[in-house]
Amino acid sequence: MNIDLTGRTAFVSGSTQGIGRVIAARLAAAGATTTINGRDAGRVDAVVGELRKEVPGARIEGVAADVSTAEGAADLFEELPAVDVLVNNLGIFAPRPVLEVDDDTWQRYWDVNVMSAIRLARHYLPGMRDRGWGRVQFMASDSAVVIPEEMVHYGVTKTALLGVSRGYAKALAGTGVTVNAVIAGPTHTEGVEDFVRDLVGDDLPWERAQVEFMRVHRPGSLIQRLIEPEEIANMVVYLASDLASATTGGALRVDGGYVDFIVP
């Protein structure tokens, strides 16, 4: 399929590393003027430079702002008042026994994983509606529907994003704007490598550690490996395009078959 986002503008929150960085690169490669985001200005500038080299001719900008806070989101809106494609990618995760998760940790996860996405969608959707075209995506997780025992606090925030996404899609019915969630399965990123090591130990070579993690902690995966970020980005870029004009209000799975549902 030929996906051409020339003339569109895109913003990806939390995109200086991991899945978000790859999503930003793929959107830019498809022609969208893409803005990446992180809290540290130096890191944002560095990644903008890297991506411009990796994707020759791409139009890539950066905004340093902590969008998990109202103040940081306001700073972003001042620099980038409107976009055509919004990818709510920002998120944090770490294992912790649920009975040891204190109020501050619950609140931190809610602010970063949920409120950042709500604020960004609430700001950018009216402009999309008025222009008659827009794409909003919430990066969810298999943990939204298969709550992991070691990360209940994380899974709950991703469950919330499924509800938020569906609700916004209903609010934008008939406007030319689509809103979807992407259910990403266990994905090979820097953070996940650390997570895997926390669970299976540091004594195994990475390839064996990955296999052991999937065998013990994600045995339902049908591909029996971690997903690569590019595989997630492919779905995001498709949903950002005109080709996905009839797909809205959905929870699209790129989970390696981990979630044991016939219907999403």
Per-residue pLDDT, 262: 81
Q: What is the pLDDT along the chain (264 residues), one digit of tens a residue?
A: 889 999 999 999 999 999 999 999 999 999 999 999 999 999 999 999 999 999 999 999 999 999 999 999 999 999 999 999 999 999 999 989 999 999 999 999 999 999 999 999 999 999 999 999 999 999 999 999 999 999 999 999 999 999 999 999 999 999 999 999 999 998 998 878 888 888 888 888 888 898 899 899 888 899 988 999 999 999 999 999 999 999 999 999 999 999 988 876
Q: Which of 129, 138, 137 is nearest to 177 (CA)?
A: 129
The domains of the chain, with CATH numbers, are 9-186+230-254 (3.40.50.720), 188-226 (no CATH)
What residues are labeled active site? 154
How far is CA 54 from each of CA 73, 187, 193, rounded to the nearest angstrom? 28, 22, 23
Question: Quick check: helix, strand or coil at residue 10?
Answer: strand
Residues sharing a CB contact under 8 Å with residue 65, sequence separation 6 or more, in sequence order: 37, 39, 72, 73, 75, 76, 79
Per-residue pLDDT, 118: 98
How far is CA 73 from each of CA 38, 111, 124, 127, 134, rounded to the nearest angstrom? 11, 12, 11, 16, 20
Cβ neighbours of 167 (radius 10 Å): 13
Helices and strands: H and E segment counts in the chain: 9, 7
Per-residue pLDDT, 195: 82
The model carries a pTM of: 0.94
Could you give the CA distance from residue 186 to residue 92 in angstroms, rounded to a whole number?
A: 14
Residues sharing a CB contact under 8 Å with residue 201, sequence separation 6 or more, in sequence order: 209
pLDDT digits (tens, 9 = 90+) for 143-174: 999 999 999 999 999 999 999 999 999 999 99
How far is CA 191 from each of CA 18, 88, 195, 240, 261, rounded to the nearest angstrom? 8, 18, 6, 26, 27
